[in-house]
Structure 1
């Protein structure tokens, strides 16, 4: 008879998965704790990216709704360094409205000497941080504002002692439409309460009175403190370049022009820095989880020396032993990755839903998280797998 060379049987992918899974099923609690470290890292990374993107998506929706076409004009610092702040000209609204692309312009004036109180018995200095401002009738549309209760000024109410409160001002005064508040030494009737104003947050703590009523009853001189200008998005840059000279041709340097939507965009950029920090923390948690997987696999090799020796004695090659333990490490980290991705997605869904945001979980975040678990599993399982494959069968069988 001719000699026949014996060759070890080749393991199919299904065999490799089955052998790797058997090793994990014998130690469920240890597997759970090891996978938990991976899951925490992946969940943190997916949730941070998901919440950040959901927040940015909500911000973009707000910007689309509010518009990025608004510019504000305010008086800047005095050129001579004096304490008195320069004022905008009385005719500033009319001058800006003559700029071709401008389709809406409105004015607001801060009345520094006026205070608002709930009753006459409250000392004038206790105004609750509420500013009294004069407003023209076009202000509500110019700032994309809305009414939570009551109504906005009409041509009839502008000249009478009526007031519209910002939503925070109404809370602090505990006032609602139909009730009276004191502004200076006069009683004013509350006719409305504003919804929160994203593009002009200082209106939330303001008591707004009509332009004519402020001149007649509160000593207002008619000089606006701030202008709100709206145009098309395409014309914003060109209008921004001429607004200062248009408002105050004599001293354009004393006029400040800003774009409120830029502040919201900067807010999104600032949240990106926090996202990077949280991703770093998630990466640390993932690294700790990888160390846990490596530790579990090393202990597994030490505890299963007889199993390894038996498999080697019946024909398993070193390569098959390496594949077995490497597969166990990949399955262990993969289990943690899947659980972590699900927890991260659920966390994003819960947080975004509670905030009223659009839920956004980028596929690349989930894919990147799962991909990182594969890398972690391979790195964590490589040394234990090589160590297991180098065990001598006779020594391994005699170690029990």
Structure 2
């Protein structure tokens, strides 16, 4: 028969009871509810930091998604060849057969061209020539819009009949500068009136065409002394062959020397814009992190003041059995709840700002889940760091000293 000996009276060690997590949460919440105005102001700093970071990441991704959609729509397989200057500084003339020469390159699917025309643009003959509207004249082939993927906003584009007549199609900016809102109006081109038959949509890949008045090659030769030499050639080829075509394009158009022409890829400008946006995003994230750090300092300051104001409460709790660990957990939980409140508010504000701005810009709103989760995790980390010193300070208060505090 096994007999268990009872521990002698006073022999058992008393261990302090551990507070359940629910009780710690309630204690932390009580401390916050008692000082609502201070809590709101402290949480505001955290909210601003998180909102900035979420909004910056969201807007960056929304802008990039819109840019990628534009690149997919416009294509990245457009190459341009522009006439340059010779070593003497004289303007080089591309051969009249430049388009036909480019079309003989195997992978090329489409080639077209524009040419500079020496004819100033004015609204009417009452406007002095020296007060031109900043619009230039260019001759264009009828297949230009097909190659560029551009469209007409109002009116019509040049065709086999109108390319021989004194008519013009204006770029979007050119029409605005001249005050032309509808086709059918006349403008001065050189010393001759021409009829506006169309206004283009903005040409995203070649924005310089937004500021010109376009006429047909035959019309430019007949009425304005155009010599027929193109100044810019455009070509499209399959995506997988763009680099190969680019390698031979300059020599094809300018057999005398590829250094006399400049080959470029218009879509590279949009890709460069995406790279620029990345740098700006990093800068704004840095500013958001600074705002978050300032918010954390505000939380730490709030918790230190809270400990000073509640010394008697701390002394009373210690005197009735609360351990140092319980006091630490109480104030650490207050700091975490305060930071979490600001983080949640900031995530909501940042998401709302992203959606509002993206919709206003016509973008598809994109808020990566990792940005919200990462921001909230940063908030909790700030809460722990900000509350650690005040919590330790509160736990080290001696009950007698705390109860005697004024």
* TM-score, normalization by structure 2: 0.96
- The aligned residue for residue 67 of structure 1 is 75
Count of aligned pairs: 397
Runs of 4+ off more than 3 Å: none
Q: Are positions 1:384 and 2:383 aligned together?
A: no
- The aligned residue for residue 51 of structure 2 is 43
- The aligned residue for residue 232 of structure 1 is 238
The CA deviation string for residues 157-215 of structure 1, in whole angstroms up to 9 with x for no partner, is 01011100001111111122011111112221111000011101011111000110001
The CA deviation string for residues 7-55 of structure 1, in whole angstroms up to 9 with x for no partner, is 2221111111111111101000000000000001111111111111111
Where in structure 2 are the equivalents of 1:115-134 lying within 5 Å?
115-134=120-139
* Partner Cα separation in structure 2 for residue 107 and residue 317 of structure 1: 85
* Partner Cα separation in structure 1 for residue 171 and residue 80 of structure 2: 19
Question: 5+ unaligned residues in a row in structure 2: which ranges?
Answer: 1-7
Q: Are positions 1:393 and 2:391 aligned together?
A: no
Given the alignment, which residue of 267, 271, 296 partners 1:265? 271
- The aligned residue for residue 354 of structure 1 is 360
Given the alignment, which residue of 196, 200, 205 partners 1:199? 205
* TM-score, normalization by structure 1: 0.97
Where in structure 2 are the equivalents of 1:144-159 lying within 5 Å?
144-159=149-164
* Partner Cα separation in structure 2 for residue 125 and residue 63 of structure 1: 39
SS at match of 1:125: helix
CA displacement at 1:66 relative to structure 2: 0.4
* Partner Cα separation in structure 2 for residue 337 and residue 258 of structure 1: 47
Given the alignment, which residue of 4, 29, 32 partners 2:37? 29
Given the alignment, which residue of 334, 339, 342 partners 2:340? 334
Where in structure 2 are the equivalents of 1:177-216 lying within 5 Å?
177-216=183-222
Q: Are positions 1:2 and 2:40 aligned together?
A: no
SS at match of 2:405: coil
CA displacement at 1:315 relative to structure 2: 1.3
SS at match of 2:130: coil
SS at match of 1:280: helix
* Partner Cα separation in structure 2 for residue 331 and residue 45 of structure 1: 20
- The aligned residue for residue 257 of structure 2 is 251
* Partner Cα separation in structure 2 for residue 258 and residue 18 of structure 1: 66
* Partner Cα separation in structure 2 for residue 109 and residue 46 of structure 1: 48
- The aligned residue for residue 171 of structure 1 is 176
SS at match of 1:102: coil
- The aligned residue for residue 108 of structure 1 is 114
* Partner Cα separation in structure 1 for residue 85 and residue 399 of structure 2: 86
* Partner Cα separation in structure 1 for residue 17 and residue 403 of structure 2: 21
CA displacement at 1:83 relative to structure 2: 3.0
- The aligned residue for residue 289 of structure 1 is 295
* Partner Cα separation in structure 1 for residue 128 and residue 137 of structure 2: 16
Given the alignment, which residue of 371, 377, 383 partners 2:377? 371
Question: 5+ unaligned residues in a row in structure 1: which ranges?
Answer: none
The CA deviation string for residues 109-139 of structure 1, in whole angstroms up to 9 with x for no partner, is 122x211111111112222110100000111
- The aligned residue for residue 313 of structure 1 is 319
CA displacement at 1:146 relative to structure 2: 0.7
Given the alignment, which residue of 345, 351, 357 partners 2:351? 345
* Partner Cα separation in structure 1 for residue 85 and residue 402 of structure 2: 85
